Amino acid sequence: MFEHKTQPGWVAVEDFLTATVVHPDDALRRAVSSAVDAGMPPIEVTPNAGKLLKLLVQISGARRVLEIGTLAGFSSIWMAQGLPDGGRLVTCEYLTKHAEVARANVAAAGLADKVEVRVGAALETLAALHAEGQEPFDFVFIDADKEHDADYLEWAVRLGRPGTTIVLDNAVWEGAVLDPSMDDVNAPGIIQALQLLGNHPQLEGTVIQTVGSKGWDGFALARVR
């Protein structure tokens, strides 16, 4: 697994901001602890990033959210909490075990009526959503296997609409975007997605660098023209 390096000050500030400003509730804390109990890798978004996703859902006025990469449902819960009554979130998870944990966490958060967890390879799930003629999604969060980031970005555009907001996580990857030899599994896919974002005729975006308990990383934020 690619090693993310942290500085003590980064983590201390993150903990301070989480306790002082973010205030994750019991359901969110349960989602994190359940992931540990289930032996999942500790790769969920940080609380301050989760709160940002919730705020972006609210600011964008989204009613339909698509998430690619569920894990234990931590980010799913954050975004679903930002949805209005009648809002809907569809999240794609590859592993059945992870999906079961996520469904339990979503139900414990009182959000089962808003969240649908679909199991299987995300590219197949996205194609199925398209074939079903689903209503366009207003907000898309991409946080899955990095090799397919560019494909997921293309699907986000296809399943969205003009004005859809897209967030692509892990866009800096300890600086491996400048030196893909640091991680020849994940870095090439991230670079390809960023190049696509910068040149896609239907997308306008930016990338924000971050530091914290997940190391040196960042996220891309885009809007469908």
- Domain 8-224: CATH superfamily is Vaccinia Virus protein VP39 (3.40.50.150)
The confidence score (pLDDT) of residue 175 equals: 97
The confidence score (pLDDT) of residue 9 equals: 97
The stretch 53-79 carries a mean pLDDT of 98
Query: Within its chain, how far is the Cα of 70 from the centroid?
Result: 8
pLDDT tens by residue, 76-99: 999 999 999 999 999 999 999 999
pLDDT tens by residue, 181-194: 999 999 999 999 99
Domain assignments of the chain as residue spans, ordered by start: 8-224
The confidence score (pLDDT) of residue 2 equals: 67
Which helix (H) or strand (E) segment is 4 a member of?
Answer: none
The confidence score (pLDDT) of residue 90 equals: 98
3 confidence band (pLDDT: 50, 70, 90): confident
Neighbours of 61 (CB within 10 A): 11
Whether residue 128 has pLDDT greater than 60: yes
The stretch 139-148 carries a mean pLDDT of 98
The confidence score (pLDDT) of residue 4 equals: 83
DSSP string, 195-209: HHHHH-TTEEEEEEE
The confidence score (pLDDT) of residue 1 equals: 52
Question: What's the angle, vertex CA 193, arms to CA 14 and CA 156, rounded to 5?
Answer: 90
Q: At what angle do helices 96-108 and 26-37 cross, to 10 degrees?
A: 160
In a 10 Å sphere around its CB, with 0-12 CB exposed, 13-18 middle and 19+ buried, how is residue 39 labelled? Answer: exposed
Neighbours of 11 (CB within 10 A): 16
**pTM of the predicted protein model:** 0.97
| Mean model confidence pLDDT for the chain | 97
